[in-house]
Amino acid sequence: MNILEEDGRGLLLGNEAIVRGLIEAGVKFASTYPGTPSSEIGNLLEELSGEIGMYFEFSSNEKIAVEVSAAAAAAGVRSFAFMKHVGLNVAADPLMTLAYSGVIGGMLVLTADDPSVHSSQNEQDNRYFSTLSLLPMIEPSTPAEAKDMIKYAYWVSEKLGLPLIYRTTTRVNHARSIVEYGPITDTPAKGHFRKDDKRFVNIPAYAKQNRVRLLELNREAQELSETSPLNYVEGGGDIGVITSGVSYTYIKEYTSGASILKLGFTNPLPEKKIADFLKDKRYVIIAEELEPFLEDQVLRICAQNGLTVPVYGKRSGHLPREWEYSPDTMRRLNSLLTVRDMPEPLPSVAAKLPGRPATLCAGCPHRGMFAAAKKAAGKRDIIYCSDIGCYTLGIQPPFGTADFIICMGGGAGAAGGFDEATDQKAIAFIGDSTFFHSGVGPLTSALFNSHKITMVILDNRTTAMTGHQPNPGTGRDFGNISTEPIDIETMVKGVGIKFVRTVNPYDVRETENTMKDALDFDGVSVIISKCPCPLELKKRKVLKIRECTVNQDKCIRCHRCVKTIACPALVKKGDTVATDPTQCIGCGMCANVCPKNAIEVKE
Amino acid sequence: MKYTVQIVGVGGQGVLLASMVLGTAAMRSGYKVAMSEVHGMAQRGGSVISTLRFGDDIISPLESAGGADLIIGFEPVETCRNIQLGNKDTFVLMNLDPVYPSMVAAGFEEYPDIQELVESVRSLTENLMTLDATKTAISAGKAVAANAVMIGAAAAVKAFPLKKELLKEVMLEVVPEKSKDLNSKAFEMGYDIAS
């Protein structure tokens, strides 16, 4: 399967289908900060952008991703900024005023929402960003639609001169369906920015007028929505369903007996079309995941048009607001619709099953750093502020090194607050990519305000959790552009931090000593725990695998290795600990903490 | 016609690859296909489920609980954990080679007795076939071919709508050139065990 082929079809992941859609629409500029469930788009563009003549970058954060793509679109180049839902919070600042400026070339801002919080910290419904910013929004229901709607979305964006919000969810990004390839078009890769202060410089006098212009464009957008081929009615009858996104697929396959108004262009809503649809209905069901975004607007449309048709959904208690929908959710509608017979599930098994949460990998350097921090902390009262990344998994035993997590860079900011508001010591763990994303601000702020915090930068030389994307600390080498890594130690010293040490977390004992010094330091201290992610090395086929073995004659069964490192490659059966050769990479962390040197590392 | 396969296992076991092989074979057989996969955080050694649905009129990427026609369990505990995906008529293919969760490896939790797990599934359904896919793969040449053993076994499941030769052909397209013989052999061994 090659998504660059002229024609044909493929069984594509939603994120692959989106890349195909970009190619068909001739998009020449893309930017992102990686985040699940949107990450595979970036991984593919990293691989293909050079070949398809597209400029692509991993920006340091989502705000920058929107800004660089905004500039491209202002210069007339079709651009695409994409991110996970919470990333749009970071990018909300440029987005809100970009709506006032508008664009010349088409621009889509993709937000990948995560109902059921599969790999996020919240379940926010980003459709509200479209009504907040007054930007048009399009919502595909399947991978095939996610590809097909992109070309149309660029047409809308250019017709209105506005960026457009392209909203997906996990079950679109990470679903697969058969995608038919369409013709590939070409657009210019380079544009030219023409000075137009009234649009692009939103000083109050201009912003005031642009606000009026935006409201006018919003009315125009509504006309487009009224006649959009993305908003259509299927079937007839006096029972109606209004639906969008993946919910449409559950309605379509698991229920029958209703006329369906399927919405793909969901901001502004096609109000006349909705009012017409409602007129001859006995009742209407609104099927959408998360918040009653469509439902509340439908209720308003009813009120404005003097319609008294009952509207069932979340407000009526028929459908839940929390978590993603599934075919099983349709059972809740069986008093209103014909719901397909679903076989009775087997009961749970009687056996007691061990849990299997996601866990830090065998040989993960974070294990060493966490073990050292815990040991160095001893009996001190510590607040472990953590952040968004693999190291969030430090919440698990035996570490417990995640007491407070809110958002990207949030741990570093919060640590300063805890330092001032309590007599406890605050440690902020932050990954290398997250440090560049939003860790520099809180670090300088801590120095500026004299917060006596310890920041531990877990520099595993990659953006690991989202699938190993490069970041400013690694440099880039794709799309015919190579850059040098930015050295974190030089940078941190450069801002004036007096205590900066780089440690090898595989040397747990030495790391513990350094950590003690950092905690004792009277000021901001920074430890850089520098060790590449073994999974990333494995992927690049450069991991030098060694092997640890437990010498059972020397082992005193103290289990310190298991208790402090808890590596999945250490297997404890009864009283005996052995290594699992299929998992062990020979990092030697366990050997380092062994009091009797009973664990041998072999080359 | 509609057919749903739920493939369950542990991140890193090749669940995604297997579902891609089955899905591609379904597409080439002329069916509509909808799938749902787990990516991201859960893959770090966590439980994974891949849903594959194909047939004449398929659009939903998810299936109802109990709606599976076939459960392919790559790991015994995961097969048990997800048994509600099936109903009394669902065929369950269960690999008996365990992958120990980290808390089990560290000695904080116990891994149940495999035979006890098999019995707890068998007490719920008679449509169960167990196999030692990893051990079979080792006898074929290498443990990594366990995946191919499972796909081969699925091809032998009664009333499975995809043809054996097509599945094998698609699988051999996606495995590395140098391991084609190994995977081919492992596939046939899986097929024979389940036949």
Do B61 and A359 count as a contact with CB atoms less than 8 A apart?
Answer: no
H or E, element range at A121 = none
pLDDT of B41 over the 90 cut? no
As its CATH architecture, domain A9-227 has: 3-Layer(aba) Sandwich (3.40)
Q: Decide yes or no: CATH 3.40.50.150 for domain A544-603.
A: no
- Using an 8 Å Cβ cutoff, are B75 and B9 in contact? yes
Nearest Cα residue to B73 out of B164, B10, B115: B10
Q: From CA A125, how far away is CA A298, in angstroms rounded?
A: 17
Q: What is the pLDDT of residues A305-345, one digit of tens each?
A: 999 999 999 999 999 999 999 999 999 999 999 999 999 99
pLDDT of A177 over the 60 cut? yes
Residue scoring higher pLDDT (B42 or A114) = A114
Q: From CA B93, how far away is CA A77, in angstroms rounded?
A: 52
Please tell me the predicted confidence (pLDDT) of residue A215.
Answer: 98
pLDDT of B40 over the 70 cut? no
Q: Where are the alpha helices (DSSP H) in A194-270?
A: 197-200, 204-227, 247-254
Question: Is the four-CA dihedral A258, A262, A267, A270 of positive or negative sign?
Answer: negative
Distances (CA, A) of B133 to A45, A581, B79, B130: 36, 19, 14, 9
Write the DSSP symbol of residue B46: -
Asked if A333 is an interface residue toward chain B (Cβ–Cβ < 8 A), one would say no
Other C-beta atoms lying within 10 Å of the C-beta of residue B47 = 21
Average pLDDT in the A579-602 region?
94
Residue A545: band (very low, low, confident or very high) from pLDDT cuts 50, 70, 90: confident
Q: Decide yes or no: CATH 3.40.50.920 for domain A232-339.
A: yes
Do A568 and B34 count as a contact with CB atoms less than 8 A apart?
Answer: no
Please tell me the predicted confidence (pLDDT) of residue A61.
Answer: 98
Residue A600: band (very low, low, confident or very high) from pLDDT cuts 50, 70, 90: very high
Asked if A352 is an interface residue toward chain B (Cβ–Cβ < 8 A), one would say yes
Please tell me the predicted confidence (pLDDT) of residue A160.
Answer: 98
Nearest Cα residue to A240 out of A198, A180, A183, A301: A301
> Residues 6 or more apart from A544 whose CB is under 8 A from it?
none
H or E, element range at B68 = strand B68-73
Smallest CA–CA distance from A248 into chain B, residue: B60
Write the DSSP symbol of residue A320: -
Share of chain B above pLDDT 70, in %: 98
Smallest CA–CA distance from A466 into chain B, residue: B40
Chain A residues in contact with B61 by the CB 8 A cut-off are 142, 171, 175-177, 246, 249
Residue range(s) in chain A whose domain bears CATH number 3.40.50.920 = 232-339
Please tell me the predicted confidence (pLDDT) of residue B45.
Answer: 78
- Using an 8 Å Cβ cutoff, are A282 and B88 in contact? no
Please tell me the predicted confidence (pLDDT) of residue B43.
Answer: 64
- Using an 8 Å Cβ cutoff, are A35 and A87 in contact? yes
Question: Is the four-CA dihedral A12, A171, A345, A343 of positive or negative sign?
Answer: negative
CATH number of A365-542: 3.40.50.970
Share of chain A above pLDDT 70, in %: 100
Q: What is the pLDDT of residues A218-227, one digit of tens each?
A: 999 999 999 9
End-to-end CA distance of chain B: 24
Kindly report the nearest CA distance between residue B54 and chain A, in angstroms.
Answer: 10
Please tell me the predicted confidence (pLDDT) of residue A112.
Answer: 98
pTM above 0.95, yes or no: yes
Q: From CA A593, how far away is CA A576, in angstroms rounded?
A: 17
Residue range(s) in chain A whose domain bears CATH number 3.40.50.970 = 9-227, 365-542
Q: Which of residues 194-213 of A touch B (CB under 8 A)?
A: none
Asked if A558 is an interface residue toward chain B (Cβ–Cβ < 8 A), one would say no
Between B41, B47, B124, which is nearest A349 by CB?
A: B124
Write the DSSP symbol of residue A177: E
Average pLDDT in the A213-242 region?
98
Residue B12: band (very low, low, confident or very high) from pLDDT cuts 50, 70, 90: confident
SS3 readout for A463-510: ECCCCCECCCCCCCEECCEECCCCCHHHHHHHHCCCEEEEECCCCHHH
Please tell me the predicted confidence (pLDDT) of residue A1.
Answer: 57
Average pLDDT in the A369-375 region?
98
Kindly report the nearest CA distance between residue B184 and chain A, in angstroms.
Answer: 21
Average pLDDT in the A84-93 region?
98
- Using an 8 Å Cβ cutoff, are A386 and A410 in contact? no
Nearest Cα residue to B68 out of B57, B79, B77: B79
Chain B residues in contact with A572 by the CB 8 A cut-off are 105-107
Q: Which of B16, B62, B138 is most worth mutating to test chain A (most A CB atoms within 10 A of its CB)? A: B62
Kindly report the nearest CA distance between residue A447 and chain B, in angstroms.
Answer: 33
Q: From CA A341, how far away is CA A321, in angstroms rounded?
A: 24
Please tell me the predicted confidence (pLDDT) of residue A357.
Answer: 86
Residue A358: band (very low, low, confident or very high) from pLDDT cuts 50, 70, 90: confident
Q: From CA B136, how far away is CA B50, in angstroms rounded?
A: 23
Residue A582: band (very low, low, confident or very high) from pLDDT cuts 50, 70, 90: confident
Please tell me the predicted confidence (pLDDT) of residue B106.
Answer: 82
- Residue A532 CB-density burial (10 A; 0-12 exposed, 13-18 middle, 19+ buried): middle
Kindly report the nearest CA distance between residue B189 and chain A, in angstroms.
Answer: 23
Do B32 and A580 count as a contact with CB atoms less than 8 A apart?
Answer: no
Domains of chain B from N-terminus onward: 2-101+110-194 (3.40.920.10)
Please tell me the predicted confidence (pLDDT) of residue A145.
Answer: 98
Q: What is the pLDDT of residues B77-95, one digit of tens each?
A: 999 999 999 999 999 999 9
Kindly report the nearest CA distance between residue A422 and chain B, in angstroms.
Answer: 33
- Using an 8 Å Cβ cutoff, are B148 and B112 in contact? no
Residue B113: band (very low, low, confident or very high) from pLDDT cuts 50, 70, 90: very high
Asked if A559 is an interface residue toward chain B (Cβ–Cβ < 8 A), one would say yes
- Using an 8 Å Cβ cutoff, are B134 and B141 in contact? no
> What mean pLDDT is reported for chain A?
97
Kindly report the nearest CA distance between residue A361 and chain B, in angstroms.
Answer: 7
Q: What is the pLDDT of residues A22-46, one digit of tens each?
A: 999 999 999 999 999 999 999 999 9
> Residues 6 or more apart from A62 whose CB is under 8 A from it?
A32, A33, A35, A81, A83, A87, A88, A90, A91
- Using an 8 Å Cβ cutoff, are A342 and A333 in contact? no
- Using an 8 Å Cβ cutoff, are A315 and A291 in contact? no
